[in-house]
Structure 1
Amino acid sequence: MKKIYLLGLISLFTFSCKEDFIDLQPISDMNAGIFYKTEKDMNQAVLSPYASLRSLYNQNFIYVSEIRSDNTTFSWVPGNSKDMTSIDNFGDPLLSDNTFITNVWNDSYNTILRSNIVLDKIDAVTFTDNKLKEQYKAEARFIRALVYFWLVRVYGDVPKVDHQLSVQEAYTIGRSSTEEIYNFIVEDLKFAEANLPTSYAAVDKGRVTVGGAKGLLAKVYMTMAGYPLKKGAPYYALAEAKALEVINMPQYSLVPDYKALFDVTKKNSSESLFEIQYKKGGTSTGSPWNNDFAPRFSNKEVVQVGDKSGFNAPTPDMSKAYEPGDPRKSISMSDGYVAVPGGQTVNEKYVKKYYDVSFSGSDNDNNWIELRLADIYLIYAEALVRQGKQQAVALTYLNKIRQRARNSTGGSANILPDYAPFSSDAEFLLAIEKERRVELAFENHRWFDLVRTERAKAVMTAEQKEQNGFNPTAWKDNMLLFPIPLQVIQSNPEKINQNPGY
């Protein structure tokens, strides 16, 4: 029998979850058609797509964003490494049967399925508070929008699925246009914005709020303004307006100390708009990055407990991107370590932004910050500059990022001095690009920034030539997208075609 690889789309079950939001953990398979009958059942249904996000952020999204960019590479790869190196090295053919590209698709559509189950089942459930019902719908639609935002940037045209599909329906679904997917995302986010609360009680800390919906909508508008849709000034104006709404929300502020942003004891801070929630303790809900990013053959001088995987290592170019004395560098990465035993200096770069002591193996307490206020400040500044207006205001918000960075270690104005007014918009935009790179390093933003600003070809051919001997004339614009997974096309070749160039 032919397998259906619009993966997860025709499954008729989901997972129930513990009530504690942070300890969220799938415990059994249940038929959604007979299980979700009460408000409590629907709460479990809503928590399921939150849980599913962890598999996407553990590794999958890092491969198609940070490692694809000039920010990171692999310091160690196993013997049969083509699936890894072809994402990192533009000179290697990126094949449609790539394991990681397939995993992104599979896990994304599984998460969308879980959101759709909520939306399909919830209206049949009696609620004592209709506002709570709309909130649950809004949470599911936010997560669906977030995942589709990833899918459309990774693959371009993708199938739009807004409900659970039967087997017969699955065979009728083809790829929707990039613009249609973006419009779908905006529709979901507008609903989320209108129906989410501004905050939650402590037990539900980490669920998405109206600030998260507004922040993601600002980011989506910013992307729609640039490549590939190129909607331009009207959408820069929409991004500006939505970013300003977030900035004006009193519950959000920059954390004074940059390092505190990534302190596992201070998760979901005043700067955070939305985080993927993790909790260590042997329950399969911990995060792996401190171990995954550590040099493969390091000892306890880098991580205290567990494995070291040697992936997502900063590139030499990333190391040089920081200005002298920038505290964000020593907080975010290291150029090497002193081996114990022996005392030799090992010049092997690694990300240290996500430090924690693992419970065991790769089981850490770090959350993944998907959206934070510093990102919104920089979106706001860029949107203003791209419209050719309020350069003084844009400069103020750009400098707020630098001021926080230098004050993180009690630095003076001699370290990261404020930017003076720029002589041209082009110069201003390059400064914003640079600040986004170092401020948001290793947070999955860089590749998509380069694509939407049409800087990917120039930046990546230069970096690839230096690091991998890539011939700049070998650049092809199909490299801006990833291939549709082979098994997806094989499952439904009449409806799912391949991206150009693959």
Structure 2
Amino acid sequence: MKKILIIGIVACFLLSCKKDFIDLQPISDMNAGTFYKTEQDMNQAVMSPYASLRNLYNQPLIYVGEIRSDNTTFSWVPGNSKDMTSIDNFGDVLLSDNANVLNVWNNSYNTILRSNIVLDKIDPVPFKDENLKAQYKAEARFLRALMYFYLVRVFGDVPKVEHELTVQEAYAIGRTPTEEIYNFIVEDLQFAEANLPASYAAVDKGRVTVGGAKGLLAKVYMTMAGYPLKKGASHYALAEAKALEVINMSQYSLVPDYKALFDVTKENSSESLFEIQYKKGGTSTGSPWNNDFAPRFSNREVVLVGDKSGFNAPTPNMSAAYETGDPRKSISMSDGYVSTANDQFINEKYVKKYYDVSFSGSDNDNNWIELRLADIYLLYAEALVRQNKQQEVALSYLNKIRERARNSTGGSSDVLPDYAPFASDAELLLAIEKERRVELAFENHRWFDLVRTERAKEVMVAEQQEQNAFNPASWSDNMLLFPIPLQVIQSNPEKINQNPGY
């Protein structure tokens, strides 16, 4: 399926020193102050925050969404990199000068800046169709909301930046309370929902739709219902209603074959609500994952072209989470490979979900699926159960996921039978958690699921004991958040304070 390659003007949001606490203008070959004059200019400006997503999804979000969880680990690190191992191993000290944590912060705010530029510049620009102007605003507000959704889950209280700032304004902004950030996210997504189209022509495939806004809003409500805000029943009801709206949209359906979801020739499928768009070809717009996830010392057994970085390797616990015969396992990961040098099996797990043949180096065509219908099915089922209602409906959506899995490539009718009714809601919730883990493995959901359901302590203490039996980590609830980057605090110490425990 054809996809738009989203490339925009260059912008930056650097918090690395006091002088440049917040850059006020995008850096560009053209004069940014006089550029935004036409519909075409604004369309290019809207492409800019889309383009900046690639830097964030290339690696930083995988560290905080997967490697932080019990799903994946590093099979190889360069030297003795504490920046990597301290995210993975709770027994190591996660320092505030961690470069990977800083990358999450900087790249997220970079996209927020680009989105704010659109929103600040667009009103004076004449449009033939005011609906198109509203759509551009909606796209920018969706992307801003997506970034704040990651920031608030990773760091807790974060600065709320609604427009381009003067230097004086920048130094006046401190950390905004978590609940206020969530309310800001909801406002942005409600505007996006009201002003985005249901679909686009092929030339614009990849831009966010109303389904993407509804899907993200459902996910935000589910998170607000759980930890740390604990809004409970009211927000589980909101999540249920919004998820059902997505489910009832005719353009979305589960792809019949699970493997096809990750086929680079079938991207932006009927199951996809929103994808980050990548395109290989030596233009710095390709994705690195097939190469990054390959075992470091493999040859051509795993990837045919380019680098092998050996990170984001599935844990033994992740491997064991799949039921016997579940075709999703062989599609998503491997327990090792056969060496061409000596015909020996190398017991080194790696992710297979994002396979492509690189153009060169680490330059692949894989999109990153940020939101898809299976995720919404499982959120809907969970929302129902957490309200103590319609267990049979929740069970039916859980079984739809299993049915698709057993009918996928490599499956058979005698694997993944439908779940029978559970004796308690607690048992059903654990089944939903398990299905979310194996269905959405390596897609940046696991850590955030564990935090919002308050299962992180139990799950991660057990996993760390299993992996580090001689040096298990002692748990602290401070570990549910990451440290505010040291450079950010140094840039504005009067307003930006550190999270507890760091």
Whole-Å separation in 2 of the counterparts to 1:391 and 1:499: 39
Q: State the 1:11 CA deviation.
A: 2.1
Give me the identity figure in percent: 84
Distance 1:336 1:155 in 2: 35
Pairs within 5 Å for 1:82-101: 82-101=82-101
**Which amino acid in 1 is paired with 2:449?**
D
Question: Is it true that 1:45 corresponds to 2:45 in the alignment?
Answer: yes
Cα deviation digits, residues 112-170 of structure 1 (max 9, x gap): 00000000000010111000000000000000000000000000000000000111111
Ranges of 4+ aligned residues in structure 1 off by more than 4 Å: 2-9, 470-473
**Equivalent position of 1:14 in the other structure:** 26
Aligned counterparts of 1:357 and 1:307: Cα–Cα separation in 2? 11
Q: Do structure 1's residue 342 and structure 2's residue 337 form an aligned pair?
A: no
Counterpart position of 2:365: 365
Contact 1:12–1:32 (8 Å) recurs in 2: no
Match of 2:211 in 1: 211
The residue type equivalent to 2:212 in the other structure is G
Instruction: Kindly tell me the number of residue pairs found equivalent between the two proteins.
Output: 489
- Is 2:17–2:491's contact at 8 Å kept on the other side of the alignment? yes
Residue 155 of structure 2 is aligned to residue 143 of structure 1: no
Q: 1:487 corresponds to which residue? A: 487
- Return closer, same or farther for 1:384/1:256 CA change in 2, 3 Å cut-off: same
Task: Identify if the C-alpha distance between structure 1 residues 6 and 309 changes in structure 2 by more than 3 Å, giving closer, same or farther.
Answer: farther
2:10 corresponds to which residue? none
After TM superposition, give the deviation of residue 280 of structure 1 in Å.
0.3
Partner of 1:469: 469
- What secondary structure does 1:268 align onto? coil
Gaps of 5+ in 2: 1-13
Which residue does 2:315 correspond to in 1? 315
Match in the other structure for 1:102: 102
User: What's 2:262 paired with?
Assistant: 262
Query: In the alignment, which residue of structure 1 is the partner of 2:325?
Result: 325
Q: Is the 8 A contact 1:243 1:376 kept in 2?
A: yes
Deviates more, 1:265-274 or 1:333-342: 333-342
- Between the aligned partners of 2:226 and 2:17, the Cα distance in structure 1 is 31
Q: Is the Cα–Cα contact under 8 Å of residues 63 and 87 in structure 1 kept in the other structure?
A: yes
Any idea what SS the aligned residue of 2:65 has?
coil
Structure 2 residue identity aligned to 1:65: G
In the alignment, which residue of structure 2 is the partner of 1:164? 164
Deviates more, 1:473-482 or 1:206-215: 473-482
CA distance in 2, matches of 1:180, 1:298: 48
Deviations 1:238-287 (A, max 9, x none): 00000000000000000000000000000000000000000000000000
Q: CA deviation at 1:410?
A: 6.6
How many angstroms apart in 2 are the aligned matches of 1:91 and 1:181?
31
Partner Cα separation in structure 2 for residue 294 and residue 465 of structure 1: 26
Residue equivalent to 1:288: 288
**Runs of at least 5 residues in structure 1 that lack an aligned partner in the other structure:** 16-27
Q: Does the 8 Å contact 1:14/1:30 carry over to 2?
A: no
1:201 has 2:213 as partner:
no
TM superposition score normalised by structure 2: 0.95
Mapping 1:323-472, distance limit 5 Å: 323-409=323-409, 411-469=411-469
Residue 5 of structure 1 and its aligned partner are, at CA, apart by 5.3
Q: 1:394 to 1:96 in 2, by over 3 A?
A: same
Q: Which amino acid aligns with 1:14?
A: P
* Whole-angstrom distance in 2 between the partners of 1:275 and 1:216: 12
- Work out the CA distance in 2 between the residues paired with 1:337 and 1:411: 21
1:4 offset after TM fit, Å? 5.9
CA distance in 2, matches of 1:470, 1:225: 37
Tell me, yes or no, if the aligned pair for 2:305 and 2:358 is still in contact at 8 Å: yes
Query: How far apart, CA to CA, are the structure 2 residues paired with 1:322 and 1:339?
Result: 25
RMSD: 1.5
Q: Is the contact made by 2:21 and 2:492 (CA closer than 8 Å) also made in structure 1?
A: no
| TM-fit CA distance, 1:474 | 1.4
Distance of aligned partners of 1:209 and 1:54 in 2 relative to their CA distance in 1, 3 Å threshold: same
Q: Is the 8 A contact 2:61 2:444 kept in 1?
A: yes
Partner of 2:246: 246
Structure 2 partner of 1:32? 32
Alpha-carbon distance in structure 2 between the residues aligned to 1:64 and 1:4: 21
1: CA distance between counterparts of 2:139 and 2:17?
Answer: 26
| C-alpha separation in 1, matches of 2:113 and 2:319 | 40
Give me the whole-angstrom Cα distance separating, in 2, the residues matched to 1:441 and 1:138.
30
